[in-house]
Structure 1
Amino acid sequence: MNIFSLALANVRALRRRLFGLVALVSVAAAVCIGALGIADRAQSATDTDVKESSANRSVTVDRPDQRPDAPQLTEHAAARLAKLPHVESVQHRVQVSFGVMTKEGDTVLLYATTHRPALPPPVTKSVRDDLFPLRPGEIVAPALSQGVDLSKLVGQDLETETTRFVRQGEGTGVTGHARLVGVYDPTWQMDNPDAAYAADPTVIKWAAQRSGQPEKSYLRTTGYDQLTVVARTAADVPAVTASVQKLGYPAVTLQQQLSALPGVLEMIKTVGRVLLGVLGVLAFVGAVTVTGALSRQRAQEIGILKAVGFRTRSVLTMLVTEMALAGAVAALIGTVLGTALGSGAAAVLRRSTDLAPYVEGWVLLPPAGTLLLLFGLTVLVVAAGSLAPARRAARMSPTDAMKDW
């Protein structure tokens, strides 16, 4: 029987005595793997879905109302910005207020807003899967607005009231109808509170009525109240922002707000690293303690092995191999438990609207390279921890070993 086979047989025979060490290392490894799995998935989502998302590549250009010398955001301005280097697209926003009357008698003031693909609202309830682009006469409103629960009205036709310009400071109400085809999370306010998305022709028609200008010439004269310039890559955002500002437009970017992980997930990532160190300490101390105790209890066995011709090196190899095998078993159990722990924690995090995009998937594990590294380090630390007491035990002479027994 070779040394490895003998060590494996001893591990099976001593499994009850090794249970404490295996349990300790398994639990520590499970918590570590779970935290690292969630953190890795969050980092991956940040690198792909967030960093290169259209929102993170967007440069927002507002209408320069406070600067009469600055150019307006007309169709010509949008076409001009679209020709800048590294620009993928230019998306516009027009907003105009309108009222909604429910059958229960509630009145809600909303702001009809054109939809921009770069900044889609988080729809929570809808009549169909793909809402956008919206059809004429359709609106998507916040689920809760001014104390009125609009989510109960999805799929219904609502009475609307817009304003038609009569003369300076005077207007008249125009009654119409719109179908509520969806609602979104009201905490999402990228287009201001109470924004209700509608088809472009509908919004431009209402805005032209309110301003008293012909609908056909509205975009050439008054224009948009905001433009979103989408860069080709996240790295192009600074250059695109500078180019837009050189043309005299006030431009800001969302990149700084969206380039980092949420605080909770960053904390999980840090905890995972700390637990990795704690795992090493626990594995090392546990191996020292268990190996020392087992060596004393197995003095007779060691004495017999030395008496029948086993060298000190062979006994040392056997004892260290036993602990390494125990560490391997603990690492495997820890991986299974860590997968369950990470997936359970992810299910809890997915209940949060802000965190859900960062924890997609049901089985959360670190990359294969990280798992193999963690597995190897666990075995190595346990073996290293057993080295000193195993060396003392292996150096005992057969006579001394029999006396200790």
Structure 2
Amino acid sequence: MGGGAGSAGLPRKLANRGTLSVVLVFAFLLSLTSGISSGMHAATERDVLRADGADRLVVSSLPSMTTEGDLNARKLNLIRAVPGVEQVIPDYPSSLRSPKDSSLPKFSLAVHSWGSYVPPPLTGGSVQEPLPPDAIVVPARTQGADFTRFLGREIRLSYTVASSEPQEPPRDEGSDEGSAEEESAAEQQAGDEKAAAGQESDESSKEEGAQEKGPPAGQGPGAQAPEAPSSPPDFSETIELRVAATYDPRWHADGSDTAYVAPRTAAMLAAADSGQTPEQLHGGPGADRLGILVEEGSDVNSVGGRLREMNVGAFPAFEREKNLNRTVELWRYVALFGVLISAGLLGAHEVRRAVHGGRAGRGELGRAASIGLVTGVLATGLGVLAALALRAPMEEFLGLRIQWFTLVPGGARIAISVLAPALAAVAGAAIGSVRSLRTGWTG
């Protein structure tokens, strides 16, 4: 029997070390997820909720977001009429870059409409609401450009124009008129446009008949019209905008290297980039997304529900951040559950080893508590350090500023991370002691 006991001792030691490792891993994850959750919550509250994020809805034009149809002028008017909607800001994405002959460093900025999403945290200057058409808000520093030097000053920026002046007459008289009947059918509620299209249809049919003879010879405006949509020539124009404010470049919920202009200016840039006029953009494809600010006292969820009944996919602006916080909190509870179970098994193993070695007594509870406490302190310290090390990747992923001290969990969470392994180990040891007494196990 002695040999059997001796041969069983090594596996028990190995099992105890394995259980201790499991406790250490779960306690580390508990501390790490507590720090990440704390930092994400603080960043979301500071940069999203306090910036009217709780009163904002975002509407995407993607059909996958349950939005049907284009976010054009007609749809915007319908949304503005919904009870509880205070303001609707359309977003027209485009881009701006430094001109070739400029003294500015070479950079390229994505452009969005100011107010179509939660405004970024400003580091300099101020924004007059609404943002004037001649103003721009840019990152403080990006791609080697220091925009803080230009606060309050005008800078010249370049944008793309996807059509040239020589192309406009044939497009107006030819191919565009040939599709007038289709446009008027798609916009039946626009009575004036339908009447105008009806008057032009006879003329366009005659011109189309003349153009149909042109393509075989490879000449005439009819031969060039099909090529314009597929590969329109690009030209560069410049625009002067005043740098009204700069924001923290760590904030990139709209993507990195993003500039913000007034919706009117954004529409002009986006229309030029797509070879349209702003009027054609408003009446046709419309905006890429909408930022909706609800009236004071209105419930964001109820307004969003009304819009979704209209087949407009409207969701709270901080929905992504809220879901991420929920996911991290879920893993935190998983880690806490793992700590309690594994630490309880660790305490039971200690009692089992003591009983098997003929050392049974009350000291097992204290030994289990000390092992659990040391494990909790070590794992909590490592978890906090890991959360601090993950600060930059978290900012990159979340798109919000994360201050280092927010990654250190609060007193209650620190206490749970430190004491949970010790308390669970004591509970496991106590249960193991009672079980050994009941079964009369003496080894």
Common fold by TM > 0.5: yes
d(CA) in 2 for partners of 1:131 and 1:151?
Answer: 24
1:196 aligned residue (256, 259, 264): 259
After TM superposition, give the deviation of residue 160 of structure 1 in Å: 1.2
What residue in structure 1 maps to residue 189 of structure 2? none
Contact 1:39 1:266 in 2 (8 A): no
| SS at 2:338 equivalent | helix
What residue in structure 2 maps to residue 119 of structure 1? 118
What residue in structure 1 maps to residue 306 of structure 2? 243
What residue in structure 1 maps to residue 391 of structure 2? 350
What residue in structure 2 maps to residue 181 of structure 1? 246
| SS at 2:413 equivalent | coil
User: RMSD of the TM alignment (CA)?
Assistant: 5.7
Calculate the TM-score normalised by the size of structure 2.
Answer: 0.53
Q: Structure 1 residues 287 and 231, CA, compared in 2 at 3 Å: closer, same or farther?
A: farther
| SS at 2:27 equivalent | helix
Q: Within 5 Å, which residues of 2 pair with 1:253-332?
A: 253=315, 257-261=320-324, 270-293=334-357, 295=359, 319=361, 321-332=362-373
**Amino acid in structure 1 at the alignment position of 2:349:** V
**Amino acid in structure 1 at the alignment position of 2:81:** R
What 5-or-longer segments of structure 1 have no aligned partner? 1-19, 144-148, 296-315, 396-405
d(CA) in 2 for partners of 1:332 and 1:264?
Answer: 25
What residue in structure 1 maps to residue 124 of structure 2? 128
What residue in structure 2 maps to residue 161 of structure 1? 158
After TM superposition, give the deviation of residue 151 of structure 1 in Å: 4.0
What residue in structure 1 maps to residue 28 of structure 2? 34
After TM superposition, give the deviation of residue 289 of structure 1 in Å: 0.5
Contact 1:59 1:241 in 2 (8 A): no
1:333 aligned residue (374, 377, 398): 374
What residue in structure 2 maps to residue 140 of structure 1? 138
| SS at 1:101 equivalent | coil
Contact 1:22 1:330 in 2 (8 A): no
Q: Deviations over 1:258-313 (max 9, x none)?
A: 55348788666545533432222222112211344252xxxxxxxxxxxxxxxxxx
Q: Structure 1 residues 332 and 181, CA, compared in 2 at 3 Å: closer, same or farther?
A: same
1:362 to 2:408 alignment:
yes
d(CA) in 1 for partners of 2:358 and 2:128?
Answer: 68
Q: Structure 1 residues 26 and 332, CA, compared in 2 at 3 Å: closer, same or farther?
A: farther
What residue in structure 2 maps to residue 14 of structure 1? none
Contact 1:323 1:382 in 2 (8 A): yes
What residue in structure 1 maps to residue 429 of structure 2? 382
What residue in structure 2 maps to residue 17 of structure 1? none
| SS at 1:229 equivalent | strand
Contact 1:95 1:114 in 2 (8 A): yes
Calculate the TM-score normalised by the size of structure 1.
Answer: 0.57
After TM superposition, give the deviation of residue 328 of structure 1 in Å: 2.8
After TM superposition, give the deviation of residue 60 of structure 1 in Å: 0.7
d(CA) in 1 for partners of 2:160 and 2:18?
Answer: 71
d(CA) in 1 for partners of 2:111 and 2:328?
Answer: 35
**Amino acid in structure 2 at the alignment position of 1:181:** T
**Amino acid in structure 2 at the alignment position of 1:244:** L
1:58 to 2:57 alignment:
yes
d(CA) in 2 for partners of 1:168 and 1:72?
Answer: 31
Contact 2:95 2:111 in 1 (8 A): yes
What 5-or-longer segments of structure 2 have no aligned partner? 1-13, 169-234
| SS at 1:366 equivalent | helix
d(CA) in 2 for partners of 1:344 and 1:68?
Answer: 48
d(CA) in 1 for partners of 2:387 and 2:125?
Answer: 25
| SS at 1:285 equivalent | helix
Q: Structure 1 residues 232 and 281, CA, compared in 2 at 3 Å: closer, same or farther?
A: farther
After TM superposition, give the deviation of residue 27 of structure 1 in Å: 6.7
Contact 2:71 2:286 in 1 (8 A): no
